[in-house]
Chain A
Amino acid sequence: MADYTAPEVLDDIIVPSPEEGATAELKPNPAVAKFMEPLGFPPPLSADMEDWPANKEEWEKAGGGKALGLSKMGNLLEKYRSLKVYMDICVKCGSCTDKCHYYIGTQDPNNMPVKRADLMRSVYRRHFTVPGKVAPGLVGAEDFDKEMLDKWITYFHQCSQCRRCSVFCPYGIDTAEVTMAARELMDSIGVGHKYSAEIVGKVHVIGNNLGIPQPALEGTLQFLEEDILDETGHEVRLPLDEKDADVLFIAPSADFFSEPHIQSLIGYAKVFHQAGIRYTFSSYASEAANFGMFMGSYDQMKKISKRIADQARELNVKRIVVGECGHAWRVAYSFWNTLNGPFDFLDPRFPVPQHVCEFTNDLIMRGGLTLDKEANDEYTVTMHDSCNVARASRMGPNPGGQFDIPRALIKASCNKYVEMDPETTHEKTFCCGGGGGLLTDELMDLRIKGALPRVTALKQVMENDGVNYMALICAICKAQFSKILPMYGIPMDTVGGVHQLVSNAIKLGDKKGLV
């Protein structure tokens, strides 16, 4: 295991001075042909990419990649008018420069959102604007050559598409969308990221990111039923592939595998048990996450989420509820209807889709759950807002529901709750450092550094208020913090799901069957 050193945590989040090229060498593992081809992407020039990146010279000499890439850029600019606007309207005001967690953690100026997006803008200017074609040197226009591609590979994989910078941009430029377009373009010329490509391939074949086949999933759910029975004396079910259930429940597959994720899965099951309605997991649609979004590929996103729509029809359910997963909720809330809609075959009395926090909160509001807050008295809790939930979606009927509803659940489940620095929560929340398809070991150094702002804010409330539990509603946040916090000297079990708290507090048996 490689050794990593976490940066020093200061009393407050400090914006450091830039250090040119500080993380220029941190690159994602390339996706080889066996991962690219099943997704319809061209293979890399050298099939095994053994000599990558040396082969980029050949790539350039062949001219194919460059021509193909620029033609793809032309398509993207036509298809996404927003992208063209983002290429044109930046006035270099500097508002975004100190807002990115990766810049704060790495000091690399290319991680200032404006500089990152400029990697695409300079190519856009060179090849798609008259001044850039005539006098490139005067307008900061640059060729799409191998040096530029190298920077794209590096820095468009040092953005977690969290959109914190966009909150502060006076023009509303969405840097995440620029990153997505860059990754889509790179995939189209055979320059993919192994982590995302391998995972998406597994979803198409097996149904989930981990590659859990049906028998393993069935065994896992049965194991949990027995475990809950042993622990509580109640027969709480985790049914699989049951037709005519009321609810199709879609969890991130990490919930079937990792700690602390499983604890929330048990929490959901207990809530459904108390709700007294029939729900089911699906082995075909066994994944809430949608890495098509991280690749910036609309087609992949559509194909991945289609499994859920198809399965909802097949199982003849009335509702779809989504578990604790940040970008899954963004895809579900903001894209499902366009991707695979209309969902008019579901019961129109319920929101499509519905977040599990919304579902549980609704039950609490109607008196359907009895929660014993004292069960969580060992914890002083704070809440980390997940970037995709906070800035790219909503929850429930009211504005700000994505902030208020999870907090309402936490407060209903425990006695001691504390907020972190408001500059780091709600719509200003910092990414955990592992989002956007970067939760992979070769980028560990980036992940550690990217977590610095959140760790700083967490340490403040740990020291001042005795916080010992940071509640999360995202599988990536859970995996990232469990891994990274110990490197900052914070125990891994300082983080857990919102439904883990609900699970601890819920009193089984009372008031069952209200809904």
Chain B
Amino acid sequence: MPSFELNGNTYETDEDGYLVNLDDWSEDVANYLADSEGLEMSESHWEVVNFLREYYEEYKIAPMIRILTKAIGKKLGKEKGNTKYLYDLYPGGPAKQACKVAGLPKPTGCV
């Protein structure tokens, strides 16, 4: 099983670098995962991650992209509530790349 080391701890991931144990997530881990994706976490990046984690906590699945864009639009202003803005933040795709940083499992299926 692949893994990475951070602050003396070992974290297991799947082949694509997603955390295996969702409880392993912390802000430090998120920063590490973001860095491995070539991202620098800004406040806007955190808004996305926090929303994803809250939604997942309740529903055990990542939200539909449109729910995410609307939530971001509400928090950060309407001009940012669109898919393009999310892709600017997470060029690897809001579903896959942002889920990875948020410590959520990788979405599976025809996505």
Contacts and interface: CB of A to CB of B under 8 A. Distances in A.
B78 to A, nearest CB: 13
Contacts of A213: 59-61
B6 interface: no
B110 A252 contact: yes
A198 to B, nearest CB: 6
Interface in A199-234: 199, 202, 208-213, 215-216, 219-220, 223-224, 227
Interface string B9-41: 000000110000000000000000000011000
B110 A476 contact: yes
Of A209, A210, A227, A475, chain B has the most CB atoms within 10 Å of the CB of A210
Given A216-B60, A220-B67, 7 more contacts: A1-B97, A209-B108, A211-B61, A254-B109, A262-B66, A439-B110, A442-B15
A403 B87 CA distance: 34
A439 B93 CA distance: 15
A1 B37 contact: yes
A48 B92 CA distance: 28
A483 B96 CA distance: 11
Contacts of B110: 209, 252-254, 258, 261, 289, 325, 439, 475-476, 478-479
Given A1-B97, A212-B61, A253-B109, A194 B15 contact: yes
A268 interface: no
Interface string B48-78: 0000000000011111111100100000000
A213 B70 CA distance: 21
27 contacts: A1-B37, A1-B91, A1-B97, A199-B108, A199-B109, A210-B108, A210-B111, A213-B61, A216-B63, A219-B59, A223-B64, A227-B66, A252-B110, A253-B109, A256-B64, A257-B95, A257-B109, A258-B95, A259-B65, A261-B110, A262-B64, A262-B65, A289-B110, A475-B110, A478-B110, A479-B110, A479-B111
Contacts of B97: 1
B1 A50 contact: yes
Interface residues of A, number: 42
Contacts of A195: 108
B4 to A, nearest CB: 16
A78 B91 CA distance: 50
Interface residues of B, number: 28
Nearest to A291: B109
A337 interface: no
A313 B96 CA distance: 36
A129 interface: no
Chain B's interface: helix, strand, loop or mixed, by majority?
loop
Of A29, A195, A258, chain B has the most CB atoms within 10 Å of the CB of A258
A67 B46 CA distance: 54
Contacts of B59: 213, 215-216, 219
A119 B63 CA distance: 43
A19 interface: no
B111 A254 contact: yes
A374 interface: no
Contacts of B15: 29, 194, 442
A421 interface: no
A289 B60 contact: no
Contacts of B65: 257-259, 262
Contacts of A210: 61, 107-109, 111
Contacts of A253: 109-110
A1 B64 CA distance: 22
Interface string A232-265: 0000000000000000000011101111011000
Contacts of B111: 210, 254, 257-258, 479
Contacts of A88: none
A209 B111 CA distance: 10
Given A257-B65, A259-B83, A483 B93 contact: yes
B66 A441 contact: no
A169 B72 CA distance: 52
Interface string A152-177: 00000000000000000000000000
Interface in B89-108: 91-93, 95-97, 107-108
A202 B105 CA distance: 13
A98 B96 CA distance: 35
Contact of B64 (A48, A252, A257, A483): A257
Contacts of A441: 16, 96
A194 B105 CA distance: 14
Nearest to A478: B110
Contacts of A216: 59-61, 63
Interface string A429-472: 00000000001011000000000000000000000000000000
Nearest to B55: A216
B38 to A, nearest CB: 6
B64 A211 contact: no
A198 B16 CA distance: 14
A215 B55 CA distance: 12
A48 B66 CA distance: 37
A259 B60 CA distance: 20
Nearest to A49: B1
A209 B61 CA distance: 12
Contacts of A256: 64
A322 B76 CA distance: 38
Contacts of A219: 59
A223 B83 contact: no
Nearest to B56: A216
